[in-house]
């Protein structure tokens, strides 16, 4: 069992792994090159879902991720970083509608909650939408989905860990198939019984320090944050040209196609909800999605280096609390072989 664990990265994964390790009795040092939540977890749409995720094992992992958020929020006073308002999705393209129908049928077959709404039912949920641009029916509603304020959850989960900020990991001392210590840019050296790689989009660099080749195919996405505006956007909305959700204190978070300029994303949101025209764009952030080579998470120990562990994925907002708990359990000697089997590093 590991006594002192060094967690590299203080995003949603680093925070979730750290909290789960502390709960199991480890001493934890979390090291981040910048500030906690300053990486992808601070520039994400953070929609909590398992909507169209394949294969089945990945769908199930995301469903477990959603359940873990629900449980954490129910157990934690003032945990209003978690918002379960559902998700709406529709399209104005015939081919996309066929795909949406297929997705709804598939997730219903998995026992996931989904139903179809008409335009008037949609307008009861989202009354500030412009009815002119809406289809008469075929509007998919996924009532158990939601969204997360990741930085607030990170702050809560990091309580109790030693957090080293603004100091990058620059080396790993590896001898005899074990990581012995973590070297930092400041010259500090942290002895470790186990190390967890939660470096998000930079996870391949950390793996390389351990002598491991980790293929990643990261992509980036632009997020547009509005000023506070009195428009009723109460849940996650996936309309044909723009995705949006509330972002706290009356702000909205808008997300378009990856190559779309912020002005276009804002204009598309205004066409959908005319009241958004009273807002301004307060900030634009570009987030880098940490995507392992085959798109699926990489979780758990490296076979060649059994005290070096991975907790890296896209959809980390959804997955981190549950997947981080599985990774921490393995660090502390529990047998989670079945749960982690589809997501091992060795498949590369
Ligand atoms: C545009 C966009 C939209 C997204 N939408 C969703 C969504 O709707 N739903 C969803 O579930 N997920 C979504 N994601 C993905 C999700 O946000 C990420 O999977 C998740 O935030 C990754 O968290 P992380 O902790 O792995 O990485 P990060 O938050 O990036 O944390 C990694 C940390 O490691 C630190 N670090 C890096 N290198 C070093 C080093 N050498 N030494 C020390 N520290 C280091 C960084 O400073 C950083 O703070 C989206 C991502 C993007 C970009």
DSSP for 226-295, written as a single string: EPP------SEEE-SS-EEEE-STT-EEEE--TT--HHHHHHHHHHHSGGGGG--EEEEEEEEE--BTTS
9 lines ligand 1 (CB under 6 A): yes
Domains in the chain: ranges and CATH: 4-45+151-217+292-347 (3.50.50.60), 87-143+219-289 (3.30.9.10)
| pLDDT, mean of residues 91-119 | 97
Residues facing residue 180 across a β-bridge: none
46 lines ligand 1 (CB under 6 A): yes
pLDDT at residue 178 tops 90: yes
pLDDT at residue 1 tops 80: no
pLDDT at residue 260 tops 90: no
pLDDT at residue 2 tops 90: no
The closest residue, in CA terms, to atom 27 on ligand 1 is: 200
* Mean pLDDT, rounded, of the chain: 97
How many helices (DSSP H) and strands (DSSP E) are in the chain? Answer: 9, 20
85 lines ligand 1 (CB under 6 A): no
Residue 204 in tokens: 């391949």
| pLDDT, mean of residues 125-139 | 97
The whole-angstrom distance between residue 227's C-alpha and the CA centroid of its chain comes to 24
What is the Å distance from ligand 1's center to 146 Cα?
18
| pLDDT, mean of residues 41-46 | 98
| pLDDT, mean of residues 216-237 | 97
Angle at 47 between CA 43 and CA 48, to 5 degrees: 130
pLDDT at residue 160 tops 80: yes
* pLDDT classification of 258: cutoffs 50, 70, 90: confident
Residue 156 in tokens: 């809560």
Residues facing residue 169 across a β-bridge: 184
Q: b/e string for 23-44 if b means 16 or more Cβ within 10 A?
A: ebebebbbbbbeebbbbbbbbb
pLDDT at residue 247 tops 80: yes
* pLDDT classification of 127: cutoffs 50, 70, 90: very high
The whole-angstrom distance between residue 105's C-alpha and the CA centroid of its chain comes to 25
- Sign of the C-alpha dihedral, residues 126, 262, 142, 198? negative
Tell which atom from ligand 1 comes closest to the C-alpha of 35: 49
The whole-angstrom distance between residue 235's C-alpha and the CA centroid of its chain comes to 17
| pLDDT, mean of residues 157-183 | 97
The closest residue, in CA terms, to atom 25 on ligand 1 is: 11
Tell which atom from ligand 1 comes closest to the C-alpha of 317: 11
29 lines ligand 1 (CB under 6 A): no
What integer pLDDT is reported at residue 314 of this predicted model?
98
What integer pLDDT is reported at residue 124 of this predicted model?
98
pLDDT tens-place string over residues 282-312: 999 999 999 999 999 999 999 999 999 999 9
Angstrom distance (rounded) from CA 268 to CA 262: 10
The closest residue, in CA terms, to atom 52 on ligand 1 is: 44
The closest residue, in CA terms, to atom 7 on ligand 1 is: 46
Angstrom distance (rounded) from CA 265 to CA 259: 10
Tell which atom from ligand 1 comes closest to the C-alpha of 12: 25
| pLDDT, mean of residues 187-204 | 98
Tell which atom from ligand 1 comes closest to the C-alpha of 38: 49
**Nearest Cα to Cα of residue 192 among 309, 29, 44:** 29
Pocket test residue of 19, 217, 317 for ligand 1, highest count of atoms within 8 A of CB: 317
What is the Å distance from ligand 1's center to 170 Cα?
19
Tell which atom from ligand 1 comes closest to the C-alpha of 219: 53
What is the Å distance from ligand 1's center to 129 Cα?
31
pLDDT tens-place string over residues 55-100: 999 999 999 999 999 999 999 999 999 999 999 999 999 999 999 9
What is the Å distance from ligand 1's center to 237 Cα?
22
Q: pLDDT exceeding 90 applies to what percent of the chain?
A: 98
| pLDDT, mean of residues 21-33 | 98
- Neighbouring C-beta atoms of residue 191, cutoff 10 Å: 11
What integer pLDDT is reported at residue 257 of this predicted model?
83
**Nearest Cα to Cα of residue 243 among 77, 61, 89:** 89
């Amino acid at each position: 069992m590991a006594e002192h664990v060094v967690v590299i990265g203080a995003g949603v994964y680093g925070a979730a792994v750290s909290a789960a390790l502390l709960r199991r009795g480890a001493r934890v040092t979390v090291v981040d090159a910048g500030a906690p939540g300053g990486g992808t977890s601070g520039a994400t749409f953070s929609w909590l879902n398992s909507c169209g995720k394949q294969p089945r094992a990945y769908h199930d992992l995301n469903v477990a991720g959603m359940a873990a958020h629900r449980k954490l929020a129910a157990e934690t006073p003032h945990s209003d970083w978690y918002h379960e308002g559902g998700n709406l999705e529709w399209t104005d393209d015939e081919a996309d509608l066929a795909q949406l129908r297929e997705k709804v049928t598939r997730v219903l077959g998995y026992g996931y909650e989904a139903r179809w709404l008409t335009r008037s039912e949609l307008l009861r949920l989202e009354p500030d939408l412009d009815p002119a641009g809406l289809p008469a029916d075929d509007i998919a509603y996924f009532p158990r989905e939601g969204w997360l304020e990741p930085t607030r959850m990170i702050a809560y989960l990091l309580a109790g860990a030693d957090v080293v900020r603004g100091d990058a990991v620059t080396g790993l001392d590896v001898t005899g198939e074990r990581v012995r210590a973590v070297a930092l840019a400041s010259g500090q050296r942290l002895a470790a019984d186990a190390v967890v790689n939660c470096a998000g989009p930079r996870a391949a660099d950390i793996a390389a320090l351990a002598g491991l080749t980790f293929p990643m195919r990261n992509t980036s996405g632009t997020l547009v944050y509005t000023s506070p505006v009195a428009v009723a956007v109460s849940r996650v909305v996936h309309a044909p040209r723009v995705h949006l959700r509330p972002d706290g204190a009356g702000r909205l978070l808008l997300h378009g196609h990856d190559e779309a300029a912020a002005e276009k994303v804002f204009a598309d949101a205004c066409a959908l909800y005319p009241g958004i025209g009273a807002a301004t764009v307060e900030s634009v952030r570009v987030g880098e999605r940490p995507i392992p080579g085959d798109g699926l998470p990489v979780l758990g120990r490296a076979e060649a280096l059994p005290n070096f562990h991975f907790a890296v994925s896209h959809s980390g907002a959804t997955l981190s609390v549950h997947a981080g708990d599985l990774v921490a359990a393995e660090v502390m000697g529990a047998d989670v072989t079945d749960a982690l089997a589809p997501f091992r590093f060795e498949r590369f």
